[in-house]
Chains A and B, each alone.
Chain A
Amino acid sequence: MPNKQSKTKLFILILLPIITILTGCEFKDIDKNVFVSMIGIDKSDDEDKPYKITLKLYVPTSSFKQSPKPEYAYITQNGETLTEAIRLMESYSDKELEFGHSKLIVIGEDLLAEKANEIMDFLLRRPDIQMISWVAVGRPSAEEVVKMVPQGENAAYPALFNYFDDIGTESQFIVTTYLFDLRRRLKEDGIDPVLPIIEVKKKESHFKVNKSMVLVDKKEPYELSSLYTQTFNILSMNAPIADLIIKEEGEYFNARVDSMESKYRVNVKDNNKIELEVDVSLIGYISESKNPLKTQDLAYYSKLMEKEAKEKFTEFFEEMIHIGYDPIGFGLDYKSRTLHNRRMSSEEWEEAYKNAGINMTINAELKSTGSIK
């Protein structure tokens, strides 16, 4: 009759050999790792090895007070596949390459059009690449973006991260796209991913991030100008604050929108006709004006703003409809609210989208003229 004590002994006896079989993660001291800060993926000149990977590596220091200048090391390697390139790179470094801290993936403009899906596969399969990394397009090439250290950069936190992390700059021209989101939008019909474009200003030694690129599978990427990028940011509620210039009926002023809300809906009509319903509400104040403004006329200024915004937004939508790209996700909205057996085929949808009408309502509200009397 086994009593409690002998049961415990038996349990321990069985447990011990099992524990020795178990393996945990690999024990590796932190100073034997080298942390990758950014990954740049380009198209190489070599036909056989089409990928060119550039890694930016942190050089660890014990005290940032003693060495406030950023220090990085770079490795570049061509490879037939991305994995091959990385494996070759590991032989260049005395320490283990650790991708866990890489926050940004820059994809060269040339490569993007052709191999977006292939790159995605590698980035998603490798476990230590974080799904919350930002993805951006590098212009002229990813390598140049990765290798540039702008003036005034802090040690251990590359300036480029500040563009995307919502802690540093909060510009209305910057689109932030995460890896998981990029993947989702690429695979999903009815919504297309938008990637920010990072341009290198070599002479002034800084970056410029105010354009973006709409990516569609098997189609040429479409570049959004700064104005369109801003419009996209307002409509997708990405930007926390936006400025609108209003030039109507002799008034010329700047509205700073600090609260915006937009809703979209696809209304299906007969014969596969659709209408895009967009409902935007903008609340803000006037930040700059050429002419003196009166507080009692705020309602009138709001009307002007509505008119101006409507023009701008309609132009953006018309352009998108014209080329048949859908960064806002009307197709997804349609699919989500229609039963699958009543749904149009994707060809029909594309046709319908190209001929869609736009029904835009804008509700603008200016709270103040911005001056204190």
Chain B
Amino acid sequence: MLLSETINWVNEQFKNTNELVHKNLEYENKHILLFYLKSLINSEMLQQLIIKPFFEMSSEEQFKIYLQALPQFQEVTSKEQIPLEMMNGNILVKIHNELYLLDFRLANNDKVNQTSVETTIHGSQLALSDNLMTNINVIRSNYHQASLTVEYLVKGEVNQHKVAIIYDKDKVKSDVLDTIRKRLQNVDKQLITSTTQLNNFINDKRFSLFPQMIMTERPDRIVYNLGGGKVILLVDGNPQSMATPVVFFDFMTTIEDNYHTLFISLFLKILRYAGLLLSLLLPALYVGVTSFTPEVFRTELALTVAGSRVGVPFSSFIEVLFMLFFMELLLEASIRLPKAVSATATTVGGLILGTAVTEASLASNIMVIIVSAVAISTFVIPVNEMAFSIRVVRLLLILITSIFGLAGLILSFFALIMHLVNLDSFGEPYLKLYTLAKDKKSSEGKS
């Protein structure tokens, strides 16, 4: 194809923007043309690496070789590639009847963030940045393996975001990788703005309650997952990554478990699972026991509960739903509010509402204790996505228990476990205790 035709075509593509700079440099016997989008270019680098050498070099031939030697140099493979790369911060250079692309991207979002979602006491306090390249840099510098592979895709018809698939070629299961690739190919969305969106987009099921991928912002967790043979997905402009395939127990581990001594991490794990069960079952148990089978309580407790319910106008399940509703409102509100206000909101909501509700005997004292215990134990679940799922499941359990009593609670808990057993995340069983199987496999590989 003719060079001038291509340049005209590129100009045509950018005709609606006034940011396209078209620079014609001519000095002595040298002549180059530069095209770039001004706002995307690091102009200092442009000055240092192109404009200054241009005037210093003796011949056009020498300058051409110089350009090819630059690390930012990129060959043009197709006409369509040019506008895409230019929008990513490349400069189009025409020299000697040839076109080159040079990556002079200006990135202002490449600073690594502090961890904000998965805060820990031990371990690194730094998370990922908003810049894909920086993120890959962070991962690579934490995971020194030649087998670490990065694949790029462009997704989102309108915003054309870069998506990276990162995995350790030696450890990843090829059929999982194929499934992910295939499903990512099939994603047909106008806009991709967040990594977590992918959780919905590449999940086959329309209604899914439990997350099929785990979101993390911690480089050490990413490395841990890569080492375990998982696939990491990153989207440009997002400080979060997704790891998949996951099992349920991934959501119950924090990366800190590996940093504590055995007994401490065991204790913390027991605490966490107790919290999970408590936040899941406690409100439903309250309904089931108080309204269907008060024999289960100790006598003193039964009398206290009966006494504290005196004057409460609602049935137990309405009482529970009513209080949980306010608790959920409080949780939602404290996420959305600015940090300065959220502390006040929690105090007003939690303390004042709690006392006032019992004073006005809209709910019993015991109910307030249960709701706060549930709220606290929900926070113990280390991964946020699972905490959200548990909050929904909890409501279902309450609903079934208020119709069928304790037997209903047990049955619905069974149903929940059956559902979890039935689930799979990219072909991997969701409730699998994977550590044992993995060990076996790796030892097989060694021998």
* Partner-B contacts on A (CB < 8 A): 22, 24-31, 33, 35, 37, 58, 60-64, 98, 100-101, 103, 128, 130, 156-157
Chain A nearest CB from B314 CB (Å) reads: 9
In this complex, how many residues of chain B approach chain A with their Cβ under 8 Å: the count is 29
B315 neighbours in A (Cβ, 8 Å): 27, 29
The reply to whether B407 and A24 form a contact with Cβ atoms under 8 Å apart is yes
A101 neighbours in B (Cβ, 8 Å): 294-295, 299, 302
The reply to whether A61 and B303 form a contact with Cβ atoms under 8 Å apart is yes
Chain A nearest CB from B289 CB (Å) reads: 8
Tell me the nearest residue of chain A to B299, going by C-beta: A101
Identify B292's interface contact among A25, A63, A156, CB under 8 A: A25
Chain A contact residues, majority secondary structure = loop
Question: Please, how many angstroms separate the alpha-carbon atoms of A60 and B316 in the complex?
Answer: 17
The reply to whether A62 and B302 form a contact with Cβ atoms under 8 Å apart is no
Tell me the nearest residue of chain A to B402, going by C-beta: A27
Question: Please, how many angstroms separate the alpha-carbon atoms of A64 and B307 in the complex?
Answer: 10
Identify B304's interface contact among A25, A33, A64, A130, CB under 8 A: A64
The reply to whether A62 and B292 form a contact with Cβ atoms under 8 Å apart is no
Chain A nearest CB from B361 CB (Å) reads: 10
* B351 CB within 8 Å of chain A: no
> Please, what's the 1-or-0 string for B158-179, where 1 marks a CB less than 8 Å from any CB in chain A?
0000000000000000000000
The reply to whether A100 and B405 form a contact with Cβ atoms under 8 Å apart is no
Please list 25 pairs of residues, one from A and one from B, whose beta carbons are closer than 8 Å in the complex, sorted by A's number: A24-B407, A24-B408, A25-B406, A25-B407, A27-B405, A28-B292, A30-B306, A30-B309, A30-B316, A33-B294, A35-B294, A35-B299, A35-B306, A60-B307, A61-B307, A62-B304, A62-B307, A62-B308, A98-B295, A101-B294, A101-B302, A103-B299, A128-B295, A156-B304, A157-B299
Chain B nearest CB from A86 CB (Å) reads: 17
> Please, what's the 1-or-0 string for B303-342, where 1 marks a CB less than 8 Å from any CB in chain A?
1111111101001100000000000000000000000000
A157 neighbours in B (Cβ, 8 Å): 299-300
The reply to whether B304 and A27 form a contact with Cβ atoms under 8 Å apart is no
> Please, what's the 1-or-0 string for B394-423, where 1 marks a CB less than 8 Å from any CB in chain A?
000000001111111000000000000000
A28 neighbours in B (Cβ, 8 Å): 291-292
Question: Please, how many angstroms separate the alpha-carbon atoms of A26 and B305 in the complex?
Answer: 19
* B131 CB within 8 Å of chain A: no
The reply to whether A35 and B303 form a contact with Cβ atoms under 8 Å apart is yes
Identify A31's interface contact among B293, B295, B309, B407, CB under 8 A: B309
Q: A24-B292, A25-B405 are in contact. List 13 more A-B contacts (CB 8 A).
A: A24-B404, A25-B404, A28-B291, A29-B316, A30-B290, A60-B303, A60-B306, A60-B307, A62-B304, A62-B308, A98-B295, A101-B295, A101-B302
Chain A nearest CB from B206 CB (Å) reads: 10
Identify A58's interface contact among B303, B402, B407, CB under 8 A: B303
Question: Please, how many angstroms separate the alpha-carbon atoms of A63 and B300 in the complex?
Answer: 10
A64 neighbours in B (Cβ, 8 Å): 300, 304
* B42 CB within 8 Å of chain A: no
* B365 CB within 8 Å of chain A: yes
Chain A nearest CB from B37 CB (Å) reads: 48
The reply to whether A156 and B303 form a contact with Cβ atoms under 8 Å apart is yes
Given contacts A62-B365, A64-B300, contact A27 B308 (CB under 8 A): no
